[in-house]
Amino acid sequence: MIIDRFWAELFRLSSDRTQWNMLYPSLLSITVIEMPSRKHDVNCKAIRLLIKNESGIVDEQILDPSSRITRVSSCFAYWHYRGETYGINVVSVDDCDRFYRMVKGSYEMSRCITTRDPTPTSSSMQSTIIPAFITQIFEVNEGVVKNRNGSFTECIIKLTQNGALIRFKGKDFSLNLLESVMVVGEIKERLYISEPTGAFAIECSNSRTLRFLLIKLLTISSFLQSTTTNISSATYHLQKEIARVNETINSLVRSLGSLQPDCELAHDLNDELEMSQLQLFTLKYRLAAISDINFPTPSELLSKISLRTLRHLSSFGGSAICSLHLYFLCKSQFQISKRLWNHQEELMLNVSRLHTLFDDYPLHSNNGTINVLLPSGSIITLQQTTVDNVREILCKVCDELKLDPEKYYIVREGYDRVRLQERDYRLQKKERSLGLTISAKMCNDGGIKAEVRAIRDKTTCVEVGDLVISVDNRLISSLRSAEEVQILLRHGTNLVLRKRDAIVSQYVRSIPLSTETSGSSSSTATTTTTATTIFNSFAPPPPPPPQSFTRNRSHSMDRISDITSYTNTTRKDQESESARSSPTRSIHQNCQSSSNSHLFRQMSRSAYEKPSRRAEYRHTTPIGAISVSHFSEGAEDQLLKTISELVSTEENFVRDVQKLVNQYLKPTNLPLLETADRLLRIQTSFLLSLLDAAGDVARSFTVSQQQLRDSLIRISALFVNKCSKFKIYSDYSAAYLRFQQNKKELNDIVTRLDKLNISGEQSESAQSLLIKPIQRVLKYPLFLQQIRDNCFKGSVERQQGEQALTRMQALAEYVNEMQRLTEQYGRNIEEISLKNGAASRMNFSQLLMFAHINWLNCPENRSRPVACVAFVFTSLIVIFCPTLSKNKTKVYRILPIVEVEVNESNIQSSQSQYVFIITHIGSSRESVYHLCCCQAEIKNHFIKSVRKAASTLAKEQRRPISGSSQSDGGYSSERHIP
């Protein structure tokens, strides 16, 4: 029975066991078949491998308990077979995971024991039990961090795919890995973990087990943060988050540079900067775990923290990172990422007590001065104002500025600093989707309300908890049912929403929604729910769905989700789970007060949803949901087909270039070899990056829309980043053209190439393979055009695709232009360069500008202007007159860049805008060249190119051989208009 199929490279260990030798120079198809073992044990299973290439089956192996498979990296594993050691390098990490588990499981049954994989690279980890010692070093009690001194106690840590459970002293509690900070101390081999309820120190029997535990925990937290179980996707997500945080840090540093260091605003910005530094440290720690690189040290972070903050920390090293994390959690509601959607417990905050303990702020109500930050960014100061009376502050500000107090509200940012914000804001739906999940609720007065429950587009100003007031000037409160809200949101374009912090507290109750389940022949019954009191107009998150419903959860937004209440049994289970989630959490669980309601809502974030597969997305939607696609009808299938074709043809192209180099060019040692070899290295690197960017989309047709969108963005970004490398095609085209021109003189080489064609097929001949690189570079824009055309206008995928298409079209034009120039003037330039010993400086890869010009004062023909062509290379200018000859020799001039000056013409005439002058300093022949272009833009480009080359030479920064321009835009930014 076939149980898996994937692509990989096959290796064999050399006889001296010093290197791995690739058996076949291409990717192979590996088919895995389960079969009974040939051993006597009937319970023992075996795995049969069928290894194929385009010619058919090339190898077959049967792996059983004697094979002893070992995994040494995320994509490489090896085993023993018939006295030899074989290894495979798998394209996808998920494929390696499955292969390793299948082969490992085939003989673990016969051994009747459980062997754990010490390599933390699997994207679908099984349950793992690790014995350790634990102690709690910090405890958070109502927003106050307390230091606890206790001894280490034996514990058991159970790791699963979605979390970690710790049992000690007969009790269990779960770690909040999504909001945790983990770090290994610099002095002792000890793991420190801080989460919203406190901080813990963990020790293991040895350093290897401790590192294994750390990497497992960080891998799980990375998967939770990126909402994926794929290491490549998690790595991409973390890198994107690191780039975003770095931008925030740079922005804060620029803002601080314009402020006095002792002002209140500078202190607030310093806090934000330090929180961003901690967030960056946490993201880098997680990325290091899944990328197998060195962890950043605690001192790297602590060196960037101010002394004003460090005085609150109890010690240095790993525990200082934990106390820093808890300090920011309590002071400013710091969050590493969004919380799990079914996470019931929240951190209780008491900012007043925190200020008393740490900053010694006066808390009694008195009249004083308070700064108000306005929406425009300016600040006004109010005198003789009760600083803790928000209503009085709002009335004074609105009276001062002649504003309606009903349209604004106050957000406190410090003891004597507040922010004025508008209650309502507008949002326009420019595409089919807003990227929001909106739920309908019923107020106790019988009216309908719509509330944002999840956000997909993080760049939007919308927050979870914001209230939808109207759609297309129609009030939501005027509607009678959730069905009307559903229809209005589906077709409406202009929304007015109210900030969640500006919503007046009130009780709401859930309402039943009636929805048809797509794909079912009969309508489902109306969902009945139990009325439940909800605090602060914020409906509780739904209970965890069953396994069957989790797989069918739609990932699209703009839907009305049914707000069903908990049954009594479910509520008891959740209270029990929340009570045992932490040793100290149950004590303070019911201490919530109205003064903390705003902070409670700020700590509650959007839901964590697993993306559904595309096939299931088509046929099933959750109850009460509007299924919204991010692609037009048929576009999704076309995009999947385009990506699959792009990847498969790229693999075939790399194999063809490998065959061209190894089978034809190396044995004949042709001059084309050097360029083709460089091309092979660049394309091999591009193929690996393309496979990584495409991910599962390239090999599977059951992927979610989010996976498809991510893949499209990564592929487009890859073309943008690699565009400058593809200028190698210009060199290859020139080398191929020279080969074609010399072929008649080298008939013996053609004969040798024909003899090297072992198969005798025309498609595998040298002539067929030599032309494929030129054909390939012209096909890339076609793939990108298909990607662009199948994405909605204005979407991120289309914008990225348009950018990539523009770059590759410019590259194709550049390659075509260089090929045309080589065909027309290649021989002439080669003869001139050889005659003057300037071959290395007159290479077309160093060409900055080419133009048709008229030489007005040519000595060889002073009677009329002479039509010429001018080439601006990085170090010299060549003026060539193809229509003139003197004593049967061609007329040309070579002007070194360092010896010329180029200026506009001072001649006053109708043609002056097209004329410019080149002065050759120190020349014994003519020193001034009067030149004329057919267009003013060409003249400006020519002058700019000469000055650019002179500036580059002056700085001694020679251009790279592989490109025609220092910008990724390539030749298009410098070329003339035909």
- Look up the domain containing 35 and give its range: 2-111
Q: Are 920 and 911 in contact (CB under 8 A)?
A: no
Q: 366-403 b/e with 16+ CB inside 10 Å = b?
A: eeeebbbbeeeeeeeebeebebeeeeebbebbbeeeee
127-142: pLDDT as tens digits? 678 888 898 888 887 6
Distance CA 636, CA 706 (A): 11
What is the separation of C-alpha 532 from the centre of its chain, rounded to a whole number of angstroms?
Answer: 41
- Of the candidates 879, 849, 881, the residue with the CA atom closest to the CA atom of residue 864: 881
Q: Is residue 586 part of a domain?
A: yes
Q: Is residue 630 part of a domain?
A: no
- Please check the confidence at residue 375 and state whether its pLDDT lies above 80: no
- The CA distances from residue 819 to 124, 359, 661, in Å, are 51, 71, 22
Q: Are 161 and 229 in contact (CB under 8 A)?
A: yes
Structure tokens at 14: 């050399």
Higher pLDDT, 358 or 398: 398
CATH of the domain at 390: 3.10.20.90
| pLDDT of 318 | 62
The amino acid at 878: V
Question: Average pLDDT, stretch 473-502?
Answer: 83
Question: Average pLDDT, stretch 808-814?
Answer: 85
> Domain end: 375, 404, 422, which one?
422
- Please check the confidence at residue 531 and state whether its pLDDT lies above 60: no
> Domain end: 111, 140, 163, which one?
111
| pLDDT of 588 | 38
| DSSP H or E segment with residue 195 | strand 191-195
Q: Residue 348 class from Cβ within 10 Å (0-12 exposed, 13-18 middle, 19+ buried)? A: buried
774-796: pLDDT as tens digits? 888 888 999 999 999 888 888 88
Is residue 539 located within the same domain as residue 649? no
Local confidence band at 609 (pLDDT 50, 70, 90 cut-offs)? very low
Distance CA 513, CA 509 (A): 13
DSSP for 742-789?
A: HGGG-HHHHHHHHHT-SS--GGGSHHHHHHHHHHHHTTHHHHHHHHHH
Distance CA 282, CA 587 (A): 29
Q: Is residue 345 part of a domain?
A: no
- The CA distances from residue 724 to 273, 342, 718, 797, 904, in Å, are 36, 47, 11, 22, 32
Q: Is residue 41 part of a domain?
A: yes
Higher pLDDT, 839 or 442: 442
What total number of domains does the chain contain? Answer: 6
- Of the candidates 792, 707, 801, the residue with the CA atom closest to the CA atom of residue 432: 792
| pLDDT of 394 | 84
93-97, 718-722, 782-786: least confident range: 93-97
Is residue 853 located within the same domain as residue 961? yes
Query: Quick one: CA torsion of 469, 474, 475, 480, rounded to 10 degrees?
Result: -130
Question: Average pLDDT, stretch 509-536?
Answer: 31
Local confidence band at 360 (pLDDT 50, 70, 90 cut-offs)? very low
Is residue 559 located within the same domain as residue 668? no
Is residue 736 located within the same domain as residue 608? no
Is residue 95 located within the same domain as residue 159? no
Q: Is residue 167 part of a domain?
A: yes
Distance CA 256, CA 249 (A): 11
CATH of the domain at 684: 1.20.900.10
CATH of the domain at 901: 2.30.29.30
Is residue 414 located within the same domain as residue 431? no
Question: Average pLDDT, stretch 292-298?
Answer: 80
885-920: pLDDT as tens digits? 766 678 888 888 888 888 887 766 666 778 888 888
| DSSP H or E segment with residue 351 | helix 351-354
Distance CA 715, CA 801 (A): 9
- Mean pLDDT (the chain, rounded): 72
613-622: pLDDT as tens digits? 333 333 333 3
- Please check the confidence at residue 579 and state whether its pLDDT lies above 50: no
- Give the number of other Cβ atoms within 10 Å of residue 710's Cβ: 22
- Of the candidates 190, 178, 183, the residue with the CA atom closest to the CA atom of residue 215: 183
Q: Is residue 344 part of a domain?
A: no
227-242: pLDDT as tens digits? 888 888 888 889 889 9
Question: Average pLDDT, stretch 174-186?
Answer: 83
Longest dimension (CA), the chain: 106
Question: Average pLDDT, stretch 212-220?
Answer: 88
> Domain end: 376, 396, 422, which one?
422
Is residue 190 located within the same domain as residue 85? no
The angle formed by the CA atoms of residues 771, 776 and 782, to the nearest 5 degrees, is 140
| pLDDT of 849 | 83
DSSP letter at 567 equals P
Residue entry with tokens 């360029």: 675
Percent of the chain with pLDDT over 90: 4
Is residue 19 located within the same domain as residue 71? yes
Structure tokens at 303: 């060196």
Is residue 96 located within the same domain as residue 135? no
Q: Is residue 829 part of a domain?
A: no
Q: Is residue 612 part of a domain?
A: yes
β-sheet bridge partners, residue 31: 5, 50
User: For 658, phi and psi rounded to 5 degrees?
Assistant: -60, -45
Q: Choose from 25-34, 606-615, 949-958 the range with maximum mean pLDDT.
A: 25-34
- Give the number of other Cβ atoms within 10 Å of residue 589's Cβ: 16
Local confidence band at 186 (pLDDT 50, 70, 90 cut-offs)? low
247-251, 703-707, 865-869: least confident range: 703-707
DSSP letter at 956 equals T
β-sheet bridge partners, residue 130: 157
Residue entry with tokens 């992927």: 703
115-129, 855-869, 963-977: least confident range: 963-977
The amino acid at 420: L
Is residue 521 located within the same domain as residue 441? yes
Which residues are CB-neighbours of 180 under 8 A, at least 6 positions away?
Answer: 193, 194, 195, 217, 221, 336
Question: Average pLDDT, stretch 211-218?
Answer: 88
- Give the number of other Cβ atoms within 10 Å of residue 187's Cβ: 10
- The CA distances from residue 656 to 675, 676, 863, in Å, are 15, 11, 56
* pTM (2 d.p.): 0.37
Question: Average pLDDT, stretch 648-659?
Answer: 90
Distance CA 913, CA 907 (A): 9
SS3 517: coil
Q: Are 962 and 725 in contact (CB under 8 A)?
A: yes
Phi-psi region of 279 (alpha: psi -120 to 50; beta: other; left: phi over 0): alpha
Q: Choose from 86-95, 306-315, 553-562 the range with maximum mean pLDDT.
A: 86-95
Is residue 659 located within the same domain as residue 575? no
Is residue 612 located within the same domain as residue 639? no
| pLDDT of 911 | 67
CATH of the domain at 581: 2.30.42.10
